Amino acid sequence: MFKLMVVTDRKRVSRPLTETVRLALEGGADAVQLREGDLPTQELHHLALELRKITRDAGAKLIINQRADVALAVEADGVHLGWRSLSIKDVRELCPFGPEASGSRDGKKLLVGISCHDAMQLHSAEEARADYALLGPVFPTPSKEGRVAPIGLETFRTLASGAKIPIIAIGGITAQNAGQARQAGAAGVAAISAIVAAQDPRVAARSLLG
């Protein structure tokens, strides 16, 4: 599973988003989640195509947030869902790729991940056979302030230790606490501002990987 996922936010970047992603991948990030939900579909598709080339050249995974149609159009590696999205079951039916599916695309499985904030959501993700879960926010983060309270490191440890799917820590992840998240059971970490807002995303990615 992913060691370091870059979650995009073009409104926070210190340089062009595509350059930011390229540098982060050079620094060791192995997955990119394109999360720009306010973009018109044509612009999102164009950006996804650019990131598809960059991630493919780097041997990294490209995950599209919410938009299964865009993921299929650009041959992304997966779709990431929230709790107000289509269900995992719906996405699997819309995108019937995988070794066991008649619509298999060279045997490549379209990954389906989901964001979880508590034990009930994580259990539902496991029951629905999600490929991974982003669990958090682990630490305080401006992107969730006033909407979702941080679960804290100990709750994260408890949930990750009993999980049946890979757990990626998200929310307030920095170079100072990424190691703590891994020690608490995270298969990897996901970061937004720690990478996209960094002056040198390559150095930032290396720091997050320890």
Bridge-based pairing state of the strands 111-116 and 132-135: parallel
CA distance 91 to 130: 11
Catalytic: which of 12, 105, 109, 144? 144
Instruction: Give the phi and the psi of residue 176 in degrees, each rounded to 5.
Output: -75, -25
104/106 Cα distance (integer angstroms): 6
Per the DSSP assignment, residues forming a β-bridge with 135 are 116, 169
* Identified catalytic residue from 3, 22, 35, 92: 35
Determine whether 35 is an active site residue: yes
- Among candidate residues 3, 22, 67, 115, the one labeled active-site is 115
User: Per residue in 136-169, is it b (16+ CB within 10 Å) or e — as a string?
Assistant: bbbbebeebeeeeebbebeebbebbeebebbbbb
C-alpha to C-alpha distance for 20 and 47, rounded to whole angstroms: 13
Residue with the two structure tokens 């060279």: 106
Catalytic residue list: 35, 115, 144
